[in-house]
Chain A
Amino acid sequence: MNRKKDKGFESPRPFKLTHQVVCINNINFQRKSVIGFVELTLFPTVVNLNRIKLNSKQCRIYRVRVNELEAPFIYNDPTLEVCHHESKQRNLNYFSSAYTAAVSAVDPDAGHGELVIKVPSELWKQGDDLKVLKVYIEFSLDQPKGGLHFVVPDVEGSMAERGAHVFSFGYQNSTRFWFPCVDSYSELCTWKLEFTVDASMIAVSCGDLVETIYTHDMRKKTFHYVLPIPTAAPNISLSVGPFEILVDPYMHEVTHFCLPQLLPLLKHSMSYLHEIFEFYEEILTCRYPYACFKTVFVDEAYVQVSSYASMSIFSTNLLHSAMIIDQTPQTRRCLAQALAQQFFGCFISRMSWADEWVLKGISGYIYGLYLKKTFGVNEYRHWIKEELDKIVDYELRMGGVLLHPTFSGGKEKDNPTPHLHFSIKHPHTLSWDYYKMFLCKAHLVMRLIENRISMEFMLQVFNKLLSLASTASSQKYQSHMWSQMLLSTHAFLKSISNVSGKDIGPLIKQWVDQSSVVKFFGSFAFNRKRNVLELEIRQDYTSAGTQKYVGPIKVTVQELDGSFNHTLQIEENSLKHDIPCHSKSRRNKKKKIPLMNGEEVDMDLSAMDADSPLLWIRIDPDMSILRKVEFEQADFMWQFQLRYERDVVAQEESISALEKFPTPASRLALTDILEQEQCFYKVRMQACFCLATIANAMVSTWQGPPAMKSLFTRMFCCKSCPNIVKTNNFINFQSYFLLKTMPVAMALLRDVQNLCPKDVLNFILDLIKYNDNRKNKFSDNYYRAELIEALTNSLTPAISISNEVRTVDNLNGDVRLILEEITRFLNMEKLLPSFRNTITVSCLKAVRQLQKNGHIPSDPSLFKSYAEYGHFVDVRVAALEALVDYTRVERCATELQWLLVMVQNDPTHYVRHKILGMLSKNPPFTKTSDSALCNEALVDQLWKLMNSGTSHDWRLRCDAVNLYYTLFGLTRPSCLPLPELGLVLNLKEKKAVLNPTIKPELGVGAGMDTAASIGIHGVGMSFTAVDEEPDPISLGVCGVGQPPQGLKRKAETPLGSPPEPGQILQQQDDDVRDVRGAGRYKIRFNTMEEEDIDMETVHDSQAFIHQHLNLLERPSTPGKEPLSVEQAMLSMPATPVPSFSKETTSSSSKHGGEHGGHHHHHHHHEHKKKKKKHKHKHKHKHKHESKEKERERDNSHAYSNSPASGRSLRSPSLSD
């Protein structure tokens, strides 16, 4: 709403980047290290540019020169450790705000960065004429944990023979992990990239390969790339490995790369890429913007698809041979996605994070058009429905997804999504699930826009954006045209209104500026007298994730005389809508009924209500609202809809509705659909499962053989011997998919004893037995995997006599047969592995199911061995999933530990991400349930994981946050010991007083949690006693209470308070004020958000953040009247935790200033003792001076100590 109306792009930086050179001259696979330099060409945009902030993480920086002059620099990354590690804070609200603050502090979109370079004074004195600055930075990376991923198989041979490779990766803008840059999508520049690699390797990077030159010793070669199109640093990538090269036979400027031995697969998988190219170029009427395109397939990929300027990196697991059916559409989809992002995302970049939705939306939308063209309208509509269901489900469950967050000043706008446990202000703080839903919603909204303005206009808009960008891209920097290559929400909307002349403001307001979806409930009655359909559409707009919809809605009514569309207006208070019917209720015998598509069909209308001409009704059939519709109509209407409505979405909706009507008529309708060859195969597949559900509900009255059995026999078995399935021939894909699905659905059938019928089990076993693929052109691995899944589905809980140990002897006969099949499959897979080891995956799931149902002993060791690094990733994930499930069911602490250790140590990023994701989906316990697993050590471990253990991977950190949220909620975990307040009382008065705010009650607002977190510090006395480096705060407590013997007072206390009895009262007062102060700051922060950070007063952002966080983290002082403190806290307004913005010290009171100092000490404990002496002598007032000095010292220590920091030794301190 408060969208910036200005056209141009305003850089947050005092300079413009025009060109960057990246030169990596050594890549050591053995040591997993990289050495190189970058050179950035900058144009200052202010007169006295004295500091340059760049982004860099992980890199060790050796020297920085600006125009050949050595320049001092500071390298500080506050996201390494979000809350400093001595903090005993354990509530997620606190962490989230601290994390957001840390990310903000180095956010390139706000002009910040981890690396601050001081421009030598010689240069800025003569800087009046805005001379070009060349910033040269030498850096190295040693065993990078993020940004670059090394895959080095542990075998004999040279690196090339081993298939060792390295590639860049990351979530959103993560290029700073592997070279210093301005890591923003909005800072464009041209690039020169040089990579010196082993002669047996190939370096693939962005832009055009100009030449490849051997080094003098002929053992290495240097790849020179030039990227003349202005590109943002996050769109730069690299992959190096002994790749096999395939020049696309249709487009010679497209080159594909894969790992050794996979060339045949590459050839096949890439054989249709040119069609995708042609499609996009045609609809966008625009040539592919880059001169070349490269696809690289790598192992252990971070995501399946990632697009960068003129190249895309894919997972090698997308490659497949011509024999594989199921993977083919998936791989094509991935390629299409990657290519769509080349146009929107790489070539056209986003202006700010708030504009991300436009680019993702457009690329998702044109990808959808490709799906429609390639896979057909049915597939497309099915996909749209699937995506819509997904987003609706997510939003109703988790709360709204906001596409275009605005953070402009307004107090309430500060946190547009208070229901979330993370901030959506930065891409790096988002939960991965949320981001996926964000992408999903973005393309759905684009489709809504298309519905409004027509596809033709939509494509014209895209064409216009691309033309503007390509004109701009060929210009020199000096023409100031480059910002045309950045797309903002505003520019996009303007372009739409220019091209179409339509106002889509309300639509944008509804779906883009506002989160949530619409939830409709519909019902109807037919008024026979008036011949009117009385439709009632209600909305639920009070539950989480819902919003109120006002506007038009389309309703399609199928009557006896035809199908009619009506557009109703949903208004504030109108629920009922009268729709006149066209047909008279009297039935025209033998008359065909015209359908929507003009087809005329005969229907058996006997089931129908004789008075009503209504066959079925659909609300919003075109899915032009992001909604969920719960519509009530009679079962025969759903059956008509299933049989005769030709839209797959309608068919799918009716199938899900029919689950509630287990009648013979439903059964017949479903069976008919199943048999109908013309019907879309995914509908038929869905019908299988619905039929199983219905059959189970009708179990007592079911007639004839088990559902689908005779159908299957007719479709797939031999004519002469109906119990034997035909030999496989998968040439007809539709029947192939049905063949795969039917046994799986049939296995869900249950008899009166709630067991899988013997017939069905034998039938499945026979399918396995008679499966014969010798004459088939295609691999049957997916089919076999589905058969195993069918076996799994047939399992029912074992009848157990108490808790007897499961042995071979008391194995049920049927289960024995199943187990034998599984054993054989699993063993055969070792000798003849199937594609993507699908069979092992299914077998592992089956084994887990057997364990879970009590047929075999529950034991994690099998899964553990399959989860180890060195198995195919799908197998590992399946095994890990089983382990996660085991952990939940058995509440096993050791397995949970094992999983968490793997999260920390596994070489594959995807696996780590997956483990956390699975743990969140299937948590061992939740915030609402008690568990023995929930203990202090686990809290600490997870806290550490998200606080510092995952600093190299944004996605992983957010996963950890997610898990923490799932396990403990937003507040302080209940398993932690009581905070000190209660304990102090306990010590002194021998009476335990529970602080009511400790209890994490979900109903309590976030503000309350904050209050608790301010007042209560999670340090139990007992904890302190074992802690090696006691929290200063807790020591303070000890001082007041009875200090335990042998406890060293080695840390200094906050507020510089030696625990002198006389000081206590005063201190407490301070504290109360502090607490109140914190409340006040909150408001101030908001108002001062726009204020830029001042380098002179705040020397490093980490200190800065800590300074502010300190306010929150301040412990309540030990006091004789803790209750008063409590009251103070409780009296605070229950406002959500503020998001801490960059802020000047001036906004904080003297207390804040004091706290600034103490936080630095955590970086260097060894100096604490010295300083303590110092401190004792000083009173409050003097501390300002000492603080300054200390901070300097702290800085220097912090930098030299920090593992990922560098500092120029020769250079003078920045603060000088």
Chain B
Amino acid sequence: MADPAVASGGSLHLGGVREVYNPAAMRFISATSKTHCFVPRSPPDISEIGRCAKAYCEHTARSLPTLPDTVVTLVEMGFNVDTLPVYAKRSQRMVITAPPVTNQPATPRALSAGQKRTHPSHIPSHFPEFPDPHTYIKTPTFREPVSDYQVVREKAASQRRDVERALTRFMAKTGETQSLFKDDVTAFPLIAARPTTIPYLSALLPSELELQTLEETDSSEQDDQTDSENATGNNISDDPGADKENSMLPPGGVAPAAKASEDNVIDNPYLRPVKKPKVRRKK
């Protein structure tokens, strides 16, 4: 817990960090408050004048400073008050003209999001109004998903079709093709028929997509199957003589018969181990 390396690494230990540095912070804070007291007063400023005038006025138990208070203050500060009117009436005085009145820029209307809500009945009317709705109401920034069945089906259909078409077109473009027309060989490109060495495999085995669908539709059945396969797999490994080929013979444990007679091992001549040649049988 007190390991500094860990502490510095994790934000969780921030409390520890504060503890460590607190004294210094305190010192810093007190230092700043002291310097504030010694702010030099050499350039007397308007606020200081006001403050002093106020002080004089309060000193005489009044609440509002009067001109004499200000004069006293200025005198106190060493100003020659008499020069003030002269200064004010000097000839080179710069006159600052009033800023030209420009067209008040129309304040853009606050983006109204939703309807402003009025107070519910339990809130007295004197309470402030609700703020603009965007500050507390979520504003949907996406479109509501379409849940209409027809549209969904339509969309799914056209999507699939588009994907299929694009895919087949791509395949057709990148590979060899056959055409139904002589004049325009690109019109209805057919992916060229290519003989395979073992054609029955692809024709008989379900494609991965189909298998996937099957899994989705009823995973329970699949589970059963894998369970039983595991079980029978164990059965077989019990048999020491089973060779490599035999190991891939789960005799489909689905059968209750097989399960019931688990103890008596299936005696099938094709599962028996291959004998070593000892003495060749005389024919």
Contacts and interface: CB of A to CB of B under 8 A. Distances in A.
Interface in B256-273: 257-258, 266-272
Interface stretch (B77-85, B137-145, B150-158): B150-158
B249 A245 contact: yes
A859 interface: yes
B203 A872 contact: yes
A1124 to B, nearest CB: 61
Contacts of A836: 203-204
B5 to A, nearest CB: 55
Nearest to A869: B195
Contacts of B182: 805, 857, 859
Contact of A831 (B165, B171, B249, B268): B171
A865 B177 CA distance: 11
Which of A215, A865, A869 has the most B CB atoms < 10 Å from its CB? A865
Given A245-B246, A267-B252, A871-B195, A856 B204 contact: no
Interface stretch (B32-40, B45-53, B213-221): B213-221
A499 interface: no
Q: How large, as a class, is the contact surface on chain B?
A: 35 or more
Given A245-B249, A776-B213, A872-B203, A163 B183 contact: no
B140 to A, nearest CB: 26
Interface in A869-888: 869-875
A718 B153 CA distance: 11
A847 B277 contact: no
B183 A808 contact: yes
B197 A247 contact: no
Interface stretch (B57-65, B87-95, B184-192): B184-192
A163 B270 contact: no
B161 interface: yes
B24 interface: no
B207 interface: yes
Interface in A259-296: 259, 261-263, 265, 267, 271, 292
Contacts of A802: none
Given A249-B257, A859-B180, A212 B168 contact: no
Contacts of B164: 824, 828
Given A213-B277, A214-B275, A718-B149, A777 B217 contact: yes
Interface in B94-131: none
Contacts of B253: 249
B174 to A, nearest CB: 12
A870 B161 CA distance: 29
Contacts of B266: 247, 252
Interface stretch (A227-235, A317-325, A347-355, A998-1006): A317-325
A153 B267 CA distance: 33
B126 to A, nearest CB: 53
Contacts of B271: 245, 247
A210 B161 CA distance: 58
Interface string A683-699: 00000000000000000
Given A319-B204, A720-B149, A779-B210, A247 B270 contact: yes
A316 B248 contact: no
B275 to A, nearest CB: 5
B198 A868 contact: no
A580 to B, nearest CB: 60
A837 interface: yes
B3 to A, nearest CB: 56
B203 A833 contact: yes
Contacts of A253: 268
Contacts of A866: 193
A872 B201 CA distance: 9
Nearest to A820: B188
A832 interface: yes
B249 A247 contact: yes
B245 interface: yes
B217 A775 contact: yes
Nearest to A163: B198
Contacts of A68: none
Nearest to A725: B153
A721 B150 contact: yes
A798 to B, nearest CB: 14
A857 B180 contact: yes
Interface stretch (A658-666, A765-773, A1094-1102): A765-773
Interface in A760-788: 769-770, 772-777, 779
B16 interface: no
A163 B205 CA distance: 15
B157 A770 contact: yes
A316 B204 CA distance: 9
A221 interface: yes
B254 interface: yes
Nearest to A826: B190
A267 B150 CA distance: 41
A724 interface: yes
Given A214-B275, A317-B204, A862 B248 contact: no
B178 to A, nearest CB: 6
Nearest to B258: A249
A827 interface: yes
Given A246-B252, A261-B205, A718-B149, A221 B274 contact: yes
Given A832-B209, A865-B192, A866-B193, A320 B204 contact: yes
B171 A830 contact: yes
B251 interface: yes
Contact of A299 (B168, B196, B200): B200
Contacts of A819: 180, 188
A675 B10 CA distance: 74
B239 to A, nearest CB: 13
B270 A245 contact: yes
A213 B217 contact: no
Given A212-B274, A271-B254, A779-B210, A827 B153 contact: no
Nearest to A830: B191
Given A246-B252, A252-B267, A827-B191, A265 B205 contact: yes
Nearest to B221: A322
Given A321-B206, A808-B181, A819-B188, A772 B157 contact: yes
Contacts of A393: none
B189 A823 contact: yes
B67 interface: no
B199 interface: yes
Contacts of B283: 21, 23
Contacts of A1174: none
B42 interface: no
B193 A871 contact: yes
A832 B210 CA distance: 9
A573 interface: no
B199 A870 contact: yes
A216 interface: yes
A431 B145 CA distance: 66
Contacts of A23: 283
A827 B168 contact: yes
Interface string A312-332: 000011011111000000000
User: What are the 6 tightest A-B residue pairs by CB atom distance, in nearest-first order?
Assistant: A870-B195, A249-B255, A827-B168, A209-B269, A721-B150, A872-B203
Given A214-B277, A875-B199, 8 more contacts: A249-B252, A299-B198, A724-B154, A769-B161, A824-B161, A833-B202, A872-B203, A873-B200
28 contacts: A21-B283, A153-B197, A212-B269, A214-B275, A245-B246, A317-B203, A317-B204, A323-B206, A323-B214, A718-B149, A718-B153, A724-B150, A769-B158, A769-B161, A805-B183, A819-B180, A823-B188, A826-B191, A827-B172, A830-B171, A833-B203, A837-B203, A850-B180, A865-B178, A865-B192, A869-B195, A870-B195, A875-B199
Interface of A: 21, 23, 153-155, 162-163, 199, 202, 208-216, 218, 221, 244-250, 252-253, 255, 259, 261-263, 265, 267, 271, 292, 299, 316-317, 319-323, 718, 720-721, 724, 769-770, 772-777, 779, 805-809, 819-820, 823-824, 826-828, 830-833, 835-837, 847, 850, 856-857, 859, 861-862, 865-866, 868-875
